[in-house]
């Protein structure tokens, strides 16, 4: 329940101020990294998922992979962990903007030039991930955020929770058949 978290400080470091979204995997909050007074987005994962054997090892590995992706068109992961109460979480940059899905739903089709610019930026971010042998596996308008800075549009690809590493050996050790995180 989102209200269980609001106004509280997660893991002694991240104050959770408001709910940004809710999905099958868990909740996303706007919050504050208290040590630096830095605005952040905090994604908490559904506790039922965290109970699964090997879940935290896989979660940790995928968070580590996603945090190594450094590109202007990929969301920056600052931190991840498991709080004393068992809550697993990611901490990311907080983006002021809205998803491509929200924009299209509200405004309908967009001009070709703008659509091409958005796709190009998302593709640059995904190309960077591919160069690191990371595949996103859930690219959709919901996971593409658009923000405006000084009159220019910037695109960030979000939610690398379904990442797949192109290293078969490691993959076999940590992923059971039919099991995906995301």
Distance separating alpha carbons of residues 163 and 135, to the nearest angstrom? 5
Distance separating alpha carbons of residues 161 and 39, to the nearest angstrom? 21
β-strands 164-165, 144-149: how paired?
A: unpaired
Residue partners of 137: CB distance under 8 A and separation at least 6: 162, 163, 164, 180, 182
Taking only the tens place, the pLDDT of each residue in 54-69 is: 777 777 877 888 888 9
Taking only the tens place, the pLDDT of each residue in 140-154 is: 999 999 999 999 999
What pLDDT, on a 0 to 100 scale, did the predictor assign at position 177? 46
Active site residues per annotation:
138
Distance separating alpha carbons of residues 20 and 32, to the nearest angstrom? 13
Taking only the tens place, the pLDDT of each residue in 1-47 is: 788 889 999 999 999 999 998 876 788 999 999 999 999 999 888 77
Entry pTM: 0.81
Is the Cβ–Cβ distance between 142 and 171 less than 8 Å? Answer: no
Mean of the per-residue pLDDT values of the chain: 85
């Amino acid at each position: 329940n989102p209200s269980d978290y609001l106004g509280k400080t997660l893991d002694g470091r991240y104050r959770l101020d408001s709910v940004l979204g809710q999905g099958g995997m868990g909740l996303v909050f706007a919050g504050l990294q208290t040590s630096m007074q830095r605005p952040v987005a905090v994604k908490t994962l559904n506790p039922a998922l965290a109970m699964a054997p090997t879940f935290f090892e896989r979660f940790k590995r995928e968070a580590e992979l996603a945090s190594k992706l450094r590109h202007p068109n990929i969301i920056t992961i600052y931190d991840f962990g498991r709080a004393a109460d068992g809550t697993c979480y990611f901490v990311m940059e907080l983006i002021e903007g809205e998803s491509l899905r929200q924009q299209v739903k509200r405004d309908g089709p967009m001009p070709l030039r703008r659509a091409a610019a958005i796709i190009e930026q998302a593709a640059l971010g995904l190309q960077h991930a591919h160069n690191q042998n990371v595949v996103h596996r859930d690219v959709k308008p919901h996971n593409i955020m658009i923000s405006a800075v000084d009159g220019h549009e910037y695109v960030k690809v979000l939610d690398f929770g379904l990442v797949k590493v192109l290293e078969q050996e490691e993959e076999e050790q940590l992923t059971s058949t039919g099991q995906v995180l995301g």
